Structure 1
Amino acid sequence: MTATSLPRTETKTSLRTQLARRKPIDRLPHPDESPLPHGDLKRSLGLWQLTMISVGATLGTGIFVILGASIPLAGPAIWIAFLVAGVAALLSALSYAEMASCVPASGSSYSYVYATMGEGIAWVCGWCLVLEYAVSIAAVAVGAGQYINESLATFGLQLPDAIAQPPGFGGVVNLPAAGLVILSMLLLIRGAQESAWVNTVMVGVKIVILLIFVAIAFTAFSARNFEPLAPMGVAGISAAASRLFFSYIGFDAASTAGEEARNPQRDLPKAIILSMLIITVIYILVAIAAIGARPWTWFHSGEASLVVILQQLTGQPWVALVFSVGAVIAIASIVLTVLYGQTRILMTMSRDGMVPRVFGRISPRTNTPVAGTLIVGIVVAVAAALIPLGELADATSIGTLCAFALVNLSVIYLRRARPELRRSYRVPFYPLVPIAGFAMCVLLMLTLGGTTWLVFGIWMLIGTGLYFLYGRKHSVVGALSAVDYADAADSSLSIVKALK
């Protein structure tokens, strides 16, 4: 029985009961079930493709310019700041890995929270993810015009600002940004496997470009540039780590592919952890190479430091072209993978009755949510083309951290409530890791500015209104009677015992 076929009753459920009602884990799609011809996604993604989805959503344009903004805070110890930020992000990544192993469904943290903390908090989490994914896609795509122009400049060409910049920055409509979103949308409609392979190629190009920088920068390496190691002390390293934490956001993208992974319980935890290791190693290598090539006082906030270093070391104009093309590919990879995650989250919420059913319709020809992908793609393309996002993009950080915090709590809840549940991966040093992950997320949320909190508050008010207008009335789990719900819970427990 699928989520869309759950029995509905006329029994009125109180608001308090419905908000606390959890989705039985046996109602989630299981990897051993045969797919329905017109309702389920195709399981076609392996470990490497899942890993590249997370790397693609995380390893973006930030690393091309992030050193200029962070090195003045930490000095030569910037590589330590990257390591600290990576460990902080890994705390939540480990919790995601455990939840993905025992709740192998699409929907990422929304599905995990629904199965542990109930419908009310699941809606909050899902609404945070909608904010995180939709705004971040548009925010990243907005930079496409600038990097395309830098690439064209090598050949003496340039797009007019009117069609290459957003309003408020000298432009009328940002066509490169909209075009990039539309192309990603069309690719996703063709199929998850095709999209995953294209993303894998783009991620490979990004990694090669960064490794080229490392190789060239090491030809001018000087150990003296690391003295003193931490001129700003521990406070400087901490400040840089807090800023760098957000360059790790995106590792959870693989968890949105729970229903398209061939072996989600085995591969999703590995993909999440492996992507974190790949990203952290690349970040640290780039940081060490950059400091080795230039003293830390040389770096300035806002400068594209990597490009400048290579131009000075090689004296070749093609360097700017290579890195501009690399930045465009980085943007394309992020747009593709994050748009993928957005459509799968809305698909899962649609099956639960929390958003309109159109987002959950699966094409029997492509095995993808075509209608939902079209809607999301067009809305995001319009936003990227016409809206100067500015500080609104910072709201993605608070939405992401809120979702991370809830997943850490979900691990603790499920360990206590369902200790018999089969887990192919367990968080080490439980409960210290999820507690530390939750604390880190809350701490970083508190450091965000007032404007970000205001935007987040308005977004939550809008979400609350939508829940009462639509979600509460159409909720599949909320429509279960007390008897139905007890039967579902008993069924889940019996399945678990049988698996044991």
Structure 2
Amino acid sequence: MSVPAPVPHLKRSLRRFDIMALGVAAVISIDVIGQIASGGGQSVTWIAVMAVSFLLPYALIFAETGAAFPYEGGPYAWVELAFGRLVAALTSMFYWVTNPVWLGGSLAFIGAGAWDGFVSPLGSGTAADYVFKLAFVWGAILTAIISLRRGKWITTTGAAAKLLALAFFTGTAVAYGIRHGFQGLQNAAFSPTGAGFLALVPVLIFAMVGFEAPNAAGEEMYDPQRDVPIAIGVSGAIATSCYLLPVLAILSAAPAGQITGIGGFMDAAGLVFEVYGDWRGPLLTGTGVLFVVALLTQGSAWMIVVDRMQAMAAAEGGFFSRWLGAFHARLGTPVRMNVLSGLTATAFMVAAMNLGSGDASDTFAVVLTVAITTLLLSYLAIVPALLALRVRRPEIHRPYHVPFGTRGFAVATVLVYAWVLLGSWVALFPGTLEPLFGITYDFREIWGVSRMSFEVFTLGTVLLLLAVGVAGYLAQRMHLRRHHPDDHGCMGDDRSSPP
């Protein structure tokens, strides 16, 4: 098994704090907090269950692998080492495209909704609405284009804005509860149900994955073998708190049944900020700005890492042209892939705005499901690749070990894989498991669109991406056979240990 050759034009920029900040900026999905809270009191129960049975084993296996194999491209490199270039190319395609879809079709919509409702009117489908969303998308892309040495401070600022907004909201909700009583919590049903479980599993997994994302810049870290495990552990603890506490705060304040995925967080803020009297308006405006900044930098943090991953796929011969995989000589960033991501995000933004007759909440839910589906499908290859590397490369120095050695690693992998497999099915084919448990499922009422429209947009997107991924791989293979007959699909010069 060979390992990737070093990438030119890269400079080491990420220390332990930077890795943690990048992880917090990317992983804590402030946009889905409202969607999670819409599940009611049992959302808290399932967050706690999955923190133990999914997030903990997930963090363990990715901490060990990320420290042992700190290559540029992260998950792409791991899958190629384990299963070869074709599987890696398809995996990278799904992992990468999730984020332009999410940026243009989900984050931009929530950001526009928050700005329109709490900062300055935009309207829906107006010129101002389009301008805001375009500026949002390309602002995130610009942050990914500039050098990581400067870009990391933008994402760090975004992480701070996110934590500040969540902490301020949670504290205010406590003050509101003290004044008015915690009626929402008293009426919340914390007992888990099968229907709630199936509805929440995909979005909770989506909210909890991604701690490996900074590894896509593995060769831009100063000391990944020491810093990655600690950064993942700290980021995981912060993420759990940042989901549990705000969801509890929303449930304590917002009336049952009035929480929506697209407006949950800011709508609940509008309610609890009543405790500030005449300061309510200015504080809501400030929180709205923080919220939009957090969303923008959340998208840019993911663009920073996934564009590097997809650029490595292109550079190694797995995605159309190696021209797309070039890193800018001065900036050290994959500018061409960044621009491609921006164009893809813009296309999905336009598609989402013209999805159908559903309202913004319905559009948000469907587009979010597309992003969840594509991301979870990529983990169907990434997770077993970690176990394959654990078994096949025992000689690699591992500064951090999952407890109980290979057996513990295998158990953790099986747990994570089972959750991902379930989440992938439920996201792609919602409503198909409920009848097995005698649960009524009204598709139109839940999604706001017909099953046919939903599957055309979601399953159709998956099939299209699969076709594009295969076409990109075959195009590169034909080019290599004509011009580089000695390239047989390995990843570069063989080395006995990571850099």
> What TM-score do you get using the length of structure 2 for normalisation?
0.79
Letter in 2 for 1:371: R
Within the candidate set 406, 413, 419, 1:440 is matched to 419
Please, which runs of 5 or more residues in structure 1 have no aligned partner?
1-21, 30-35, 166-173
- Higher CA-based Rg: 1
Deviation of 1:67 (Å): 5.0
SS in 2 for 1:238: helix
Equivalence for 2:328: 363
Moved more, 268-277 or 324-333: 268-277
Moved more, 431-440 or 443-452: 443-452
Matches of 2:38 and 2:184, distance apart in 1? 18
Equivalent residues in 2 for 1:414-453 (5 A)?
A: 414-428=389-403, 429-450=408-429, 451=455, 452-453=458-459
Equivalence for 1:145: 112
Within the candidate set 321, 324, 349, 2:288 is matched to 324
Deviation of 1:43 (Å): 0.6
Moved more, 345-354 or 139-148: 139-148
Within the candidate set 254, 263, 267, 2:214 is matched to 254
Distance change in 2, residues 1:411/1:485 (3 Å): closer
SS in 1 for 2:394: coil
Is the CA contact (8 Å cut-off) linking 2:63 and 2:232 kept in structure 1? yes
Moved more, 304-313 or 94-103: 304-313
Deviation of 1:207 (Å): 0.7
Deviation of 1:386 (Å): 6.4
SS in 2 for 1:448: helix
Matches of 1:93 and 1:115, distance apart in 2? 21
Equivalence for 2:231: 271
Matches of 1:354 and 1:119, distance apart in 2? 6
Distance change in 2, residues 1:144/1:433 (3 Å): same
SS in 2 for 1:427: coil
Matches of 1:310 and 1:362, distance apart in 2? 47
Matches of 2:492 and 2:332, distance apart in 1? 31
Equivalence for 2:440: none
1:464 and 2:460 correspond: no
Equivalence for 2:26: 57
SS in 1 for 2:13: coil
1:372 and 2:332 correspond: no
1:215 and 2:190 correspond: no
Deviation of 1:201 (Å): 1.2
Within the candidate set 264, 271, 283, 1:309 is matched to 271
Task: Percent identity, please.
Answer: 20
Within the candidate set 225, 238, 242, 2:197 is matched to 238
Is the CA contact (8 Å cut-off) linking 2:311 and 2:334 kept in structure 1? yes
Equivalence for 2:376: 401
SS in 1 for 2:327: coil
Moved more, 404-413 or 242-251: 242-251
Distance change in 2, residues 1:293/1:147 (3 Å): closer
Deviation of 1:284 (Å): 1.3
Cα RMSD between the aligned structures?
3.2
Distance change in 2, residues 1:309/1:248 (3 Å): farther
Matches of 1:201 and 1:113, distance apart in 2? 32
Is the CA contact (8 Å cut-off) linking 2:37 and 2:247 kept in structure 1? no
Is the CA contact (8 Å cut-off) linking 1:98 and 1:411 kept in structure 2? no
Deviation of 1:370 (Å): 2.9
SS in 1 for 2:409: coil
SS in 2 for 1:431: helix
Matches of 1:436 and 1:306, distance apart in 2? 34
Please, which runs of 5 or more residues in structure 2 have no aligned partner?
356-362, 430-454
Within the candidate set 19, 41, 44, 1:79 is matched to 44
Matches of 1:335 and 1:427, distance apart in 2? 31
Aligned residues: 445
Equivalence for 2:349: 384
Moved more, 467-476 or 331-340: 467-476
Equivalence for 2:134: 178
Is the CA contact (8 Å cut-off) linking 1:181 and 1:377 kept in structure 2? yes
Is the CA contact (8 Å cut-off) linking 1:209 and 1:323 kept in structure 2? yes
Moved more, 196-205 or 260-269: 260-269
SS in 1 for 2:9: coil
Matches of 1:487 and 1:69, distance apart in 2? 48
Is the CA contact (8 Å cut-off) linking 2:118 and 2:284 kept in structure 1? yes
Matches of 2:271 and 2:481, distance apart in 1? 55
* 1:443-496 Cα distance to aligned partner (Å, 9 max, x none): 1111124423343123212322222222454389x95578x97996xx544x58
Within the candidate set 277, 280, 287, 2:240 is matched to 280
Is the CA contact (8 Å cut-off) linking 1:310 and 1:319 kept in structure 2? no
Equivalence for 2:298: 334
Equivalence for 1:199: 155
Is the CA contact (8 Å cut-off) linking 1:81 and 1:240 kept in structure 2? no
Deviation beyond 6 Å, 4+ runs, structure 1: 484-487
Deviation of 1:225 (Å): 5.7
